[in-house]
Each structure stands twice: as C-alpha cells, then as structure tokens.
Structure 1
Amino acid sequence: MKANILLAALLATASVAAQAAPKDESIGPYAGAEIGRSNFSLSSSLPVTASDRSGNALKIFGGYNFDQNFGAELGYTRFGSFSETATVGAVATKQDGSARSFYGVGTARANLTESFGVHGRAGISFGKVSGTNVLPAANDLTGTKRSLLVGFGADFRVAPNITLTADYDHYGKLSNNVKANTFMVGARVNF
C-alpha cells in the first residue's frame, strides 16, 4: 500500500513538472530561407579568356530536429548564373549557364550560449547545370551530378521559434565540369 502511494505521488510530481516545463521550440519541424553568393569552379582544358564565376544564390529548406543536437533537412538551392569565354582554335566562344541543387542532409548543432550556436550538415546534393554548350564534350559545363554536400554555420535565436542563420556550404560537383559553394544568411522558423 505504501509503495502504491509513493508511486502515485512520484507520477503526480513528474506530471506537474512536465506540464510546467516550457516547450523547447528548437525541437520539431522547421522551415527557412537564405540568400547570398555562390562561387563556381569551372574546369576546362581550353584557354579561358574571360569568366564570371559568381552568382546570387537562394536556398529554401525544411527539416526536423529530433532533439537539440541532431536533425534532418531537405532543400532547394538556386545558385544563379555564370559565364565563361574559351578559345577554340582562334575563335572566342562563350558559354552561359545556371545551376541548381536539391539536397538531403543530416544536421548537427552545438549550443555555445542559450541563444548562439554552431551547426554542420552532411549529405547528398543532386545538382544540375543548364545553359548553352558550344564546346567539345570534354569541356561541356552542362549536365547533372550527385555529390557529397558538406557545410557549417552559426545561428542566433532572436525569439523562441525564430533563428537567424549564416552558412557556408560546399555542394561538390553539379555537373562533370562545374563545382559550387555558397555563403548565405537567412532565417529559420520552428513550428
């Protein structure tokens, strides 16, 4: 009988404590957007006379935090456009392109203070480069490629469910001859 009373008292205390504890807004689903700059690495065996290898980038993403430290994320990144002028024979030939990626990553986060933390991500990027191709196949910048995506960043919680973010991500190859990375800032909202 005393054991039942003690058990009931412990359960009641735990129930009251659980109801009184504030909900951790960082656990559960989230969505966000970031804007910034992309940098392209274009590989070509031809002499390049001019190039524009950076663009305006946009990332839209959503995910789920399983706890304060680990989660999963899916997203879409638009890298903007690039151009390159190469010499084929004695003729200058210009290629223009734009790139995008769908990705899926696992995320990890560490709190440095109550509001400030650092995070990392690793997963797979499904890249695609579209545009004009007037060069030989070995120098074609267009195409699709799966690559390892790795990134890191910092975040600052400005409200219980709103976080400002700054991220650097390396998407690997988006096609056989194009690699990309981004530096972006944005915001994330937890639901």
Structure 2
Amino acid sequence: MMLNKKLVVGMIATAGFMLSAAASAQVYVGATVGKAHWNDDCKNVVSCSTSSNTYKLLGGYNIDKNFAVEASYFSLGTISATGNVGGTNVSADMKGKGFEVSGLYKYEFTPELSGFAKLGLASIKAEGSGAVAGVGAYNDSTTSTQPVFGFGASYKLTKELALRGEFETRKIKFSGDKEAVNNISVGLQYSF
C-alpha cells in the first residue's frame, strides 16, 4: 500500500513538473485507443472473450532529445466468460485501469520518424464481478503496483502534431493470480 501512495505522489509531482514547464516545447500530451489481449487460459468455460478495447490519456516531458518522462491514465477494457459448473450457470467479467509513470528512451531515425522504448511502474486496479445462477452476484477488486514495458514510434505530421503507435505489456494481479495483458494502440500526440 505504501508503494501505491509513493507512486501517486510521484505522478502528482511529475504532473506539476510538466505543467510548470508548459511554456517550453518539451511538454506534450496525447491520447491513444487500441486493443488489449489478456492471457487468460479460458479452460472449462462455454464462452470466453480475452480481447478488449482500450484507451490512454498521457502527458510527457522531454528531458532532452533522447530521454523523456511520461505519466498516463489507462483503461485496459473488460473481458468476460460464461460457463457451467456442476450444472450451475456462472458468468464473470474483469476489467483493468490505472495510472503509470514511465521513463522513455527515444531515437530519431529521420526528422519526422522516431522510435522509443519505455519502462515504468503502474498502479493497476483490477475489478472482477460475476453471477452464479440461483446463488447471487459477487464483486471484488485488487490494486497492485506492476512494471510496464513498451516500445513504439511517432511520426510528425506537423511541428506540433504527431501520430503515435505503441505496444505495451503489464501484469494484472487479481485474487492472488497474475495475468499478462498486452496492448497495441495508436493515437495522436501534441507538443507545446
């Protein structure tokens, strides 16, 4: 729990740092949408959906031409499953969302095209809900701090606006289990 509080304080400090530097061309904001694949085995179920729609809102600060720090809020969407256990119908949903702070290493291939690799920490809230026929419904949630890894590219459309694409992977912890969630997204990034 202490690590989650430190992560939130770090994210607030990063956001304040980025806002104070808003007059420079080193600050950027952006948004992406995409698809996530949850590595759930889906054994012993009638139907199972392990893909979900995702989105992310981000803000960053370019320390220099090769390094940046970035904070973001993300949603990993919702997956669901239905099955039959001992003649009883059951259904379950799980969704994930959170905040993260990452360091980025960037490399410029051309004046318009650059790539990046990122490493950071994410505070992820996993929420599960379900129903058992004839018994009732349940809800549960778990918040954990997990590493996030990713890589991507951006292509400048104008001096301020760039197209951004990336791949990220995180782990989600729920009821003692950890699942990897891989996300591919595209979006826009605006530099001030």
TM-score bin, normalised by smaller chain: 0.7 to 0.9
Unaligned runs of 5+ residues in structure 1 are 1-25
Q: Is the 8 A contact 2:126 2:172 kept in 1?
A: no
For normalisation by structure 1, the TM-score amounts to 0.76
Distance 2:47 2:178 in 1: 17
The change in CA–CA distance for 1:181 and 1:166 in structure 2 (over 3 A counts) is same
Distance 1:134 1:177 in 2: 22
The change in CA–CA distance for 1:79 and 1:108 in structure 2 (over 3 A counts) is same
CA shift, 1:105, in A, is 0.5
Distance 1:171 1:121 in 2: 12
| CA RMSD between the two structures | 2.3
The answer on 1:108 being equivalent to 2:105 is yes
Distance 1:77 1:87 in 2: 33
Q: From the CA coordinates, give the structure whose radius of gyration is larger.
A: 1
Q: Is the 8 A contact 2:96 2:127 kept in 1?
A: yes
User: Residue 85 of structure 1 aligns with which residue?
Assistant: 82
- AA matched with 1:170: T
User: Residue 19 of structure 2 aligns with which residue?
Assistant: none
Distance 2:65 2:25 in 1: 6
- AA matched with 1:188: Q
1:63 to 60, 63, 70: 60
User: Residue 7 of structure 1 aligns with which residue?
Assistant: none
Distance 1:131 1:121 in 2: 28
For normalisation by structure 2, the TM-score amounts to 0.75
Runs of 4 or more consecutive aligned structure 1 residues displaced over 6 Å after TM superposition: none
User: Residue 184 of structure 1 aligns with which residue?
Assistant: 185
Unaligned runs of 5+ residues in structure 2 are 1-23, 133-138
User: Residue 51 of structure 1 aligns with which residue?
Assistant: 48
CA shift, 1:184, in A, is 0.5
CA shift, 1:133, in A, is 4.3
CA shift, 1:134, in A, is 5.3
Identical pairs, percent: 25
CA shift, 1:174, in A, is 4.5
Distance 1:125 1:86 in 2: 32
Query: Which piece of structure 1 moves more, 26-35 or 155-164?
Result: 26-35
Q: How many residues are treated as equivalent by the alignment?
A: 161
User: Residue 126 of structure 2 aligns with which residue?
Assistant: 129
Query: Which piece of structure 1 moves more, 84-93 or 160-169?
Result: 84-93
Q: Is the 8 A contact 1:133 1:142 kept in 2?
A: no
User: Residue 118 of structure 1 aligns with which residue?
Assistant: 115
Alpha-carbon displacement from aligned partner over 1:12-58 (angstroms, at most 9, x marks no partner): xxxxxxxxxxxxxx9511110001111112367x6233211111111
Q: Secondary structure at the match of 1:132?
A: strand
Q: Secondary structure at the match of 2:157?
A: strand
Alpha-carbon displacement from aligned partner over 1:89-142 (angstroms, at most 9, x marks no partner): 33231101221121110011101111001111101111112231458xxxx984
Distance 1:109 1:141 in 2: 39
